[in-house]
Amino acid sequence: MAKSKTIRVTPNVQKCLEELKAAVKTLRAGDQKKRAEGAISYLSATFKGKPQPGKGRTCPAGSLIIR
């Protein structure tokens, strides 16, 4: 693991997020779509510099990306 806790949002990483957003739009309503939207929301907030819950060590309990 890198010593730096900073996440670099390069153009290719940003493009990947945009592709994921487009792909989620094609999913049917349901649990998988909710989890995917939760994951995208989490990544988007992280890319904007919002601190991660628990300093990113674990996924937050009750989040949409946890089953």
Dig out the tokens for 17 from the structure.
Answer: 């997020």
Ordered mean pLDDT values, 10 residues apiece, the chain (67 residues): 71 92 95 91 86 66 59
d(C-alpha 18, C-alpha 41), whole Å: 12
Closest C-alpha among 47, 41, 17 to residue 59: 41
* pLDDT for 28: 95
